């Protein structure tokens, strides 16, 4: 019994180190789960039905919804009037009705990826179409904050199509 107490006194340092490392690992996992639980995923079906994939600078209303005007900074794809859109200020009819990805606050940045279609003389953000086995939770069109991750996803989708 006395020998066990002696071993316990000698082995407290490895126990303390392993406990500290375990708690540090759990803290790291908690951080990752909290800040990376909702990655932005660009809808392939939405990009497939869109005539234009554009990056636009948006301004916001006081209630956090985007205003109808969008300044186009980049245009992707092979559309014939692609170059004429760059630098244009477009009025996008349904832009205030769009939704953001989960856990994204609109004022974090002002550049967004928009999937547009032209209806007559107006532009609209397209809604992701219905897919078998996947019911869209909302009929509101999605817009995506323009980040490096979103850029990579868009470039991959354009390369695949």
CA distance 10 to 57: 63
pTM score, whole prediction: 0.75
Task: Please write the tens of the pLDDT for every residue from 21-78.
Answer: 999 999 999 988 887 777 888 888 888 888 899 999 998 888 888 899 999 999 997 7
Residue 76 · residue 158 · CB < 8 Å: yes
- Residue 125, pLDDT > 90, answer yes
CA distance 11 to 6: 9
Instruction: Read off the pLDDT of each residue in 4-20 and give the average, rounded to a whole number.
Output: 78
67: left (phi over 0), alpha (psi -120 to 50) or beta: beta
Q: Name 92's bridge partners.
A: 123
CA distance 133 to 140: 19
- Residue 137, pLDDT > 60, answer no
């Amino acid at each position: 019994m006395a020998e066990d107490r002696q071993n316990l006194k000698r082995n407290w340092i490895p126990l303390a180190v392993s406990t500290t490392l375990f708690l540090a690992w759990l803290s790291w996992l908690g951080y990752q789960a909290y800040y990376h639980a909702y990655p932005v995923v660009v809808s392939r079906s939405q990009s497939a039905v869109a005539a234009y994939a554009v990056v636009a600078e948006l301004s916001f209303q006081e209630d956090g919804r985007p205003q109808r005007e969008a300044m186009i900074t980049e245009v992707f794809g092979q559309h014939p009037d692609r170059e004429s859109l760059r630098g244009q200020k477009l009025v996008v009819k349904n832009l205030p009705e769009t939704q953001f990805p989960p856990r994204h606050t609109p004022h974090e940045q002002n550049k967004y990826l928009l999937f547009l279609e032209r209806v007559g003389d107006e532009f609209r953000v397209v809604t992701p179409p219905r897919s078998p086995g996947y019911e869209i939770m909302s009929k509101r069109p999605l817009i995506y904050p323009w980040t490096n991750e979103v850029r990579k996803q868009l470039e991959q989708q354009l390369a695949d199509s």
